[in-house]
Structure 1
Amino acid sequence: MADTMRGVYTNLTEIRRNVFSNVAKIAYDMKEDDEKTTRRKIRDLPYEIIPGDVATYRESVFLERAIVEQRIRLAMGLPLQGVDKRESLTDGLADASVPETYYEPPLVNVIKFACNACADNTYRVTDACQGCLAHPCREICPKGAISFKDKKAYIDQEKCIHCGMCFNTCPYHAIQHQVRPCADACGMHAIGSDEHGRAQIDYEKCVSCGQCLINCPFGAIADKSQIFQVIQAINRGDEVIAEVAPAFVGQFGGKGNVDKLRQAFTMLGFSGMEEVAVGADLCTVQEAEDFMEEVPEKIPFMGTSCCPAWSVMAKTEFPQYAECISMALTPMTLTARLLRQQHPNAKIVFVGPCSAKKLEAMRKSVRSEVDFVLTFEEMMGMMKARGIDEYTKLEGEGSSDFEVASADGRGFAVAGGVANAVVNAIKVMDPEREVNVVNAEGLENCRKMMKDAVKGKYPGYLLEGMACPGGCVAGAGTLQSINKTAAAVKRYSKKSPHANATENTFRDKIPSLEREEDGK
């Protein structure tokens, strides 16, 4: 499904970002406020976001506030309230106020009373029907579900088997195929309906790609945030370091001035900020070496590892080929391990476009390195809470512990960028070797790519999978349109003095990082 709402600032966008910024402000104020004041501010927040007594978006202002209350709780990392029992908005606040708190699953949640109970996979006749003489829709229907009433086609939903033959044969395109937007966006087919027709997520299938979050026009699906816990760590005086994904360019304005962004993070209370593109360079070298050693002698093809939603889908649905998905550590993890070498007691926060990274950070082998994950949208909430509306006006102070990432490492954010980086690295290491590549965007297309690979269509190939159409720049937590961000990332990549990952001297640290993994 095309992401039709991305880059369009809607009422839903405004509410979502108001929740993030206000929750962040309350969290920062907790350094000075007592618990009673904090609870009062949280209870007052729905009335500040939805003021007055006249409904603007829904049938009732009370419903609007109830939905906002649920979003506030999720933004604090708390579970949804039960609607069938008396429960306060601030219940669980003490648990949320501890920096070490990690949210309890599920990560992605359906706010049931916000759901529109959209029809899913139904065929309906529109006013475009001309009641034509041929009646091809009726004639082709295998179940006799179509009749004519008042010279218009009518589909009996009890008989319809949703085959779509009428949809495809109508010469006026008068039959509409109606699907639930969230389910249509879910490449895992993890969204169905409960007994009331409302969206329901099958968490056994869900990989937290977040596409449902951004494709529900009613804002009924949201994931949990760690804004509250990150700010508690900052308030406590911990050393908190941000590692920012390559897709950051242009997200907060500007054209990729890292020093200005680093200063903005310092103003938020972070001790430092580094680019994950350095970890992308290390990941590139690992995958290039693994590919040259294993394909096709040990495995028939190799899939990239950096997108957690794609790799989990591939390993889960094709378990017999799980070893064909690269075991290289992801850029997020590699960057965190570099930081941990130099700052062993720091809290490390990954800031990026992806909700699936929140689940990746919960894995036991990664949790000890990445303490928190925030999306760009959540980070914008923190900036707004501290009055940093446009970081491009800053002077640009700050320094980095890392070497500048390569152009290829920075290009990881755009579809095709990972495979391109690996191929370029292999060209340096083994100039005579030819590497064939195929890439897929969106989990439906990733699944098709894997099916073809399993059938032998891609012998010796490098497979790049990206759960989000367009790559990381299309992640659920981004702020800008996909095309705008992709162009900004490509411009920024060209500014690097290093062309590809093999030129980064940090690649020498890979063995030590691998030994650290082996020892865990």
Structure 2
Amino acid sequence: MPDTMRGVYTNLTEIRRKVFCEVARIIYSTADHPEWTDADFDRAFDELPYKILPGDVATYRGSVFLERAIVSERIRLAIGLSLQGVDRPQRISDGMTRALRAETYYEPPLVNVIKFACNSCKDNVYEVTNTCQGCLAHPCREICPKQAITFVNKRAYIDQEKCVHCGLCARTCPYHAIYHYERPCAAACGMGAIGSDEHGRAEIDQSKCVACGQCLINCPFGAIADKSQIAQVIWSILEGDEVIAIVAPAFVGQFGGKGDVGKLRAAFTKLGFSGLEEVALGADLCTIQEGEDFLEEVPDKLPFMGTSCCPAWSIMAKREFPEHADCISMALTPMTLTARMVRTQHPHAKIVFVGPCSAKKLEAMRKSVRSEVDFVLTFEEMAGMMEAKGIDYLDLADEGKSDFDVASADGRGFAVAGGVASAVVNAIHRGHPDLEVKVANAEGLEECRKMMKDAARGKYDGYLLEGMACPGGCVAGAGTLVAINKSAAAVRRYAKRSPRQNATEDAFRMLIPVLERPDDRQRFGDDELLETDEAQHLI
């Protein structure tokens, strides 16, 4: 399903960003109010829905009380807490004090439906619209395999009890008078994880969800949201921890301007971060690792190899095609590799991945990744922090390049669909210029599934497969701020500025030891989730 709302600043966009901003503002304000008690915290959060939605007249829905109830739930999710609902007396601040600690991990599940915000959209229903002409031919009736269509008052009528949702009637009608209703979130979910509860409201099967986030950005009612660690990150900064951000290649243009790393570093410094590095550096290392694996394993040991950097695609492929799980690269992702690089120089730092992706939050729940990455924030959450501190990105001065050497153009190109495979092929050709490397790529989990089915049937033997859960690549992630085409163009422009085209150029040889550890391969699927009181059943 096309993402029709991306790049459009809607009322829903405004509410989401207000929530992130105001939550961040409260946490930051504690530095100016050391005298605050737990009661002061509770009062600040309990009053927050009234600050975000002042007055007594509804703006977005039929009731201001409903609006505030929904905002209250989104505030709890932004803190990392679970939803409460409206079926009992409650305070928005319940559990807030416990959550406002740097070491607290958010409670499962990661992706949530705010039930009373859901519009109970029709899902997979064919209905006749007013454009029906009651034509003489009645092709819709004649083609229906279940005789579900009759004519009432000279117009077609579909008996929903008999309808099997085959869609033949809609495709046959010469007036296009039969409409297929789909729940937007369910249509966007490539895992088929969204169904309906007994009241017709959206419900997520957490056993299927891979946290790709497409439901979050396709629900026009804002009824689906994921949890955040924005409060915990700020709290860690305020406690005096060394907090270093590693920013995904898709950052370019997300906050305005042309995406200079130095300008972005200035913004992060004002937010309290101790440092900033590009995850494109880890993308270079991932490229090297996957190139070496492909040469060693395909086709002698494995029929094909799939890339590893998109966790949603990787989990889907391993979960649904277990007999080919080993064909998905076990190379560590750019996020984890970059965090590992940073830890070689800052062993006691808290590391925050900042990127476009809600699935990275799921990846960080793995025990081995959690040991490298402490927090995950999206660009949208980071923008809320900037707004809370009054930072205007465009007015900032460039603070210079990173401590590491600059990433290659190929590493920076990971953010755009096709970029990962292209980088790996270029790395292979560096040492084997005459070797033909066949590539297939897919965007969106449904297309990824089709690609894997073809690969399982032998269509892609000897191929390198690139899977991206988000159509367009990481620039289309659920936590991005700008239109996909604009972001992709900005990433490509920024990549061209690198003095190094290929990940294998000599500047990165010194970083290869980062790869050479006993645990330098990510294992199958979800078998190493965190074993903590806060997270025992995270998928």
Q: TM-score scaled by structure 1?
A: 0.98
Corresponding position of 2:116: 113
User: 1:235 and 1:455, CA in 2 relative to 1: closer, same or farther beyond 3 A?
Assistant: same
Quote how far apart the aligned CAs of 1:401 are. Answer: 1.8
For 1:140-165, what per-residue CA distance to the aligned partner results, in whole angstroms no more than 9, with x for missing partners?
A: 11111111112111111111111111
Q: How does 1:394-473 map to 2 (within 5 A)?
A: 394-473=396-475
Corresponding position of 2:45: 42
C-alpha root-mean-square deviation of aligned residues, in Å?
1.2
Q: How does 1:5-404 map to 2 (within 5 A)?
A: 5-33=5-33, 34-35=36-37, 36-388=39-391, 390-404=392-406
Quote how far apart the aligned CAs of 1:400 are. Answer: 1.8
Paired with 2:521 and 2:376, the residues of 1 have a C-alpha distance of 24
Deviates more, 1:423-432 or 1:311-320: 423-432
2:476 touches 2:484 (CA, 8 Å); kept in 1?
yes
Quote how far apart the aligned CAs of 1:508 are. Answer: 3.5
Quote how far apart the aligned CAs of 1:210 are. Answer: 0.2
Amino acid at match of 1:506: F
Amino acid at match of 2:386: M
Quote how far apart the aligned CAs of 1:85 are. Answer: 2.3
Paired with 1:165 and 1:212, the residues of 2 have a C-alpha distance of 27
Corresponding position of 1:511: 513
Paired with 1:509 and 1:249, the residues of 2 have a C-alpha distance of 24
Question: SS of 1:31's equivalent?
Answer: helix
1:281 touches 1:507 (CA, 8 Å); kept in 2?
no
Paired with 2:440 and 2:470, the residues of 1 have a C-alpha distance of 16
Question: SS of 1:316's equivalent?
Answer: helix
Quote how far apart the aligned CAs of 1:10 are. Answer: 0.4
Paired with 1:28 and 1:487, the residues of 2 have a C-alpha distance of 34
Question: SS of 2:459's equivalent?
Answer: coil
For 1:455-497, what per-residue CA distance to the aligned partner results, in whole angstroms no more than 9, with x for missing partners?
A: 0111100000000000000000000000000000000000000
2:336 touches 2:372 (CA, 8 Å); kept in 1?
yes
Question: SS of 1:502's equivalent?
Answer: coil
Paired with 1:360 and 1:452, the residues of 2 have a C-alpha distance of 26
2:308 touches 2:314 (CA, 8 Å); kept in 1?
yes
For 1:184-229, what per-residue CA distance to the aligned partner results, in whole angstroms no more than 9, with x for missing partners?
A: 0000000000000000000110000000000000000000000000
Amino acid at match of 2:461: P
Paired with 1:409 and 1:82, the residues of 2 have a C-alpha distance of 44
Paired with 1:88 and 1:398, the residues of 2 have a C-alpha distance of 46
Question: SS of 2:519's equivalent?
Answer: helix
User: 1:489 and 1:518, CA in 2 relative to 1: closer, same or farther beyond 3 A?
Assistant: closer
2:475 touches 2:488 (CA, 8 Å); kept in 1?
yes
User: 1:197 and 1:515, CA in 2 relative to 1: closer, same or farther beyond 3 A?
Assistant: same
2:340 touches 2:514 (CA, 8 Å); kept in 1?
no
2:41 touches 2:97 (CA, 8 Å); kept in 1?
no
Question: SS of 2:454's equivalent?
Answer: helix
For 1:229-264, what per-residue CA distance to the aligned partner results, in whole angstroms no more than 9, with x for missing partners?
A: 000000001000000000000000011211111010
Paired with 1:87 and 1:222, the residues of 2 have a C-alpha distance of 20
Quote how far apart the aligned CAs of 1:519 are. Answer: 11
Question: SS of 2:517's equivalent?
Answer: helix
Amino acid at match of 1:26: I
Amino acid at match of 1:28: Y
Paired with 1:85 and 1:185, the residues of 2 have a C-alpha distance of 32
Paired with 1:519 and 1:381, the residues of 2 have a C-alpha distance of 35
Corresponding position of 2:532: none
For 1:114-164, what per-residue CA distance to the aligned partner results, in whole angstroms no more than 9, with x for missing partners?
A: 000001000011111111000000111111111111211111111111111
Corresponding position of 1:482: 484
Question: SS of 2:504's equivalent?
Answer: helix
Identify unmatched segments of 5+ residues in structure 1.
none
Paired with 2:515 and 2:296, the residues of 1 have a C-alpha distance of 19
Point out 4+ residue stretches in structure 1 off by more than 3 angstroms: none
Deviates more, 1:497-506 or 1:240-249: 497-506
Question: SS of 1:98's equivalent?
Answer: coil
Question: SS of 1:515's equivalent?
Answer: coil
Question: SS of 1:517's equivalent?
Answer: coil
Alignment identity in percent?
75
Paired with 1:399 and 1:99, the residues of 2 have a C-alpha distance of 29
- Residues matched between the structures, number: 519
